[in-house]
Chains A and B, each alone.
Chain A
Amino acid sequence: MKAEIRVALVGNPNTGKSTLFNLLTGLNQKVGNFPGVTVDKKTGYCNLPDGRRAEIIDLPGTYSLYPKSRDESIVFSVLADKGNQQAPDLVVVILDASNLKRNLLLYTQVADLKIPVVVALNMMDVAKKDGISIKVDSLAAKLGVPVVPISARRNEGIDELKKNISYANKFALQQDSIDVKAIAPQLVDAIGEEMQIDNPYYALQLAHQHEHLTFLSESESSRIEQLEQTYNFHSQKAQATETIARYNFINDLLYDTVKVKEAAHEENTSNRIDRILTHRVFGFLIFFGILLFIFQAIFAWSAYPMELIETLFVWMQTGVHQMLPAGPLTDLLADGVIAGLSGVLVFIPQIAILFAFIAILEDTGYMARVTFMMDKVMRKVGLNGKSVVPLIGGFACAVPSIMSTRTIENWKDRMITIMVTPLISCSARLPVYTLLIALVVPSRNVWWIFNLQGLALTAMYLLSMISAVVVAWVMKHILKARERGYFIMELPVYRMPRWNNVLLTMFDRAKTFVLEAGKVIIAVSVILWVLSSYGPGDTFQQIEKKYQEPQYGQKMKPSEIEHAIASEKLESSYAGHLGHVIEPVIKPLGFDWKIGIALITSFAAREVFVGTMATIYSVDNADEIQSVKAKMANARNPETGKPTFTLAVAFSLMMFYAFAMQCASTVAIVYRETKDWRWPAVQFLYMTVLAYGASFITYMLLK
């Protein structure tokens, strides 16, 4: 259904735009307590009290209309593209009532563009607690626009805001804030004439930003450039003049509308928490303690639910085998699809716990402190404090994390962050690691509380962080800087995590993971099953024929013959051929052709590994129904008769999965964010080389 009015939410970062967006639209846009959570625009719909339907646009936060980073530039391009169908009819400017002065800067800029505006005064609860009293009516009168006090987190004032949106005027009624023309009088007039613009501030903005605006044609842009030369326009000086003028206006405005209680200002709760969490010694200890705790929890808390899911799937598999007539389709369903799915669905508890912890870190405001503490280290290795957010997000999934690098202002810092984020151990590697660790590392406690398997997993995560840092450091010396880097960032106050948000995020992300992984796994399972159940020409018939010869019947039991037929068939199937093709390459890493098949299928997505193992080892010994782990534990090297998955092989395999770029979605997103295929190409290459090298060394050392 088409919307009758288009409303954009604009405001400083971390003022509650997405919280409000979710309330208005019923959607579940990501919310978090640090600046720069939203990095792209997102639309949803809302029914207004007058029966109309409004399209709501959530935007990244920005401190001014002059963008400093990729995410911020989206805001002006949405507001300014007048010819576009997407241009908003109304802007709701969200102001943080506890920090009005800085927030009003953006308001005055938006207001001067003369788009109809409604002001939502958010965080009224915080303002009240801080002893800030705001005369809302006189503020509204002075600005000439409706001002609605709300508290998005507590769902207060939202109906009033909706009313104001639906009764908002089609015309901009706001008072002028500053004398824009005075900044560059002749230029503003000249651009206005040239481009048929009657709004002086819009003309001035074009003068500042024409080089980066995609909706201007090249000739328009160069015409503006000429005018700038003619009138001797200095963009930075003009911006400085403008900002100072705006703050003068704001100071006048706030003088008799806002009162701040002076007392009790010194030690607020956030400060007291910061004293401990960013303490000189304890700061880092606490941070590493938290990380260690998370990894231990992932292992410990998930054991029971995982067992439950595993049992459920074995039961389902048995059920399918018993209920349906024996035949290739039943095998496909039971041994291909169900086994493949179980391989990943078993890990839902672990992934959900991981997502919950990351949501808590982001929701409390602690993430911003980690950024603050890590900046110096990060800078040393060519990154930026802000790289911490994508890197920690990388524990969950590299794809949204690479998008979140948009908040990093400096080009070089951002590129290096994009290049190393896929090294961080993501949740798709978790199933692979857990399975292999469970196979070769005993579940024993050392030093009372540390589980040996948990420690092994923690080591894999540590390794991923170290490798990201080292690679970043190398790239720091290769890439050339385009501009100066800086780190000027707001540290938000601590907030309690909203537990329902944490639960919802956990549920949502887990669901997406299952759906996405599920699709790939079913597809790959089917293909793999076909490839491993058929062979070229009449090889399969010949194998059957071979074992019917009397010499076998005398020497072997029927079950042994069946087993021999199955394994020989697998080896000469299409999949077997594929595995054998790459076997020479991976032999030095300790992998046989069956693992080779898993490596090939994993190139679309890592989590397919477990399903592939399930499928391959079911074809091999179809007579028993076991969990994947049991199947792999029973796997024997046909020549030596020793277990296939020794310590050396398992760790070599983990190294391969730690470094290799086995994720099509990441390649795609890196291309989208860099707009140059060379970045993903280089990334793919260096990661493959690292993977091979690390696997080789590991295998040599442990063999």
Chain B
Amino acid sequence: MKKLSQLQVGKKGVIKEFTDLEMSLKLMEMGCLPGEEIVIERVAPLGDPIAINVSGYMLSLRKQEASTIILQ
């Protein structure tokens, strides 16, 4: 079971599911849906949050939030 927060910068992953219903609502509204491909674009200078590319735009989220996203 690989979480989005474990992905390295520059690597891709495909969303499988979420571990947190409340968080998943916001994430899905922002375009992070099961089946969607995600690229880790960069990490903030202090190591958190991270910036990801999802469906063509840049989204930033904290590692803690990224860890609720399970990849395929």
Contact = CB atoms under 8 A, between A and B. Distances in A.
Interface of A: 63-64, 66, 68, 98-99, 101-102, 105, 130, 236-237, 239-240, 243-244, 247, 260, 270-271, 274-275, 278-281, 283-284, 372-373, 375-377, 385, 484, 486-493
7 contacts: A240-B24, A243-B25, A283-B44, A284-B45, A486-B23, A488-B26, A493-B58
A279 B61 CA distance: 17
Nearest to A483: B22
Interface of B: 21-31, 33-34, 41-42, 44-49, 51, 55-62, 64-65
A490 B57 contact: yes
Contacts, number: 108
Contacts of B47: 376
A21 to B, nearest CB: 23
Given A66-B29, A278-B45, 15 more contacts: A99-B56, A243-B33, A281-B45, A373-B46, A486-B62, A487-B49, A487-B61, A487-B62, A488-B30, A488-B60, A488-B65, A489-B59, A491-B51, A491-B60, A492-B58
Contacts of B23: 486
A66 B25 contact: yes
Interface residues of B, dominant DSSP:
mixed
A105 B29 contact: yes
Given A236-B22, A239-B25, A243-B29, A385 B65 contact: no
Contacts of A281: 45
Contact of A99 (B28, B33, B57, B65): B57
Contacts of B24: 240
Contacts of A239: 25
A489 B58 CA distance: 9
A244 B65 contact: no
A256 B60 CA distance: 30
Contacts of A99: 55-57
B25 A236 contact: yes
Contacts of B59: 488-491
* Max chain A Cβ within 10 angstroms of own Cβ: one of B28, B31, B60: B60
A182 to B, nearest CB: 18
A102 B31 contact: yes
A239 B22 CA distance: 10
B21 A240 contact: yes
B49 to A, nearest CB: 5
Contacts of A486: 23, 26, 61-62, 64-65
Given A66-B25, A244-B28, A283 B45 contact: yes
Nearest to A285: B45
Contacts of B51: 274, 278, 372, 491
Contacts of A487: 49, 60-62, 65
A237 B46 contact: no
A488 B44 CA distance: 14
Nearest to B32: A488
Contacts of B62: 375, 486-487
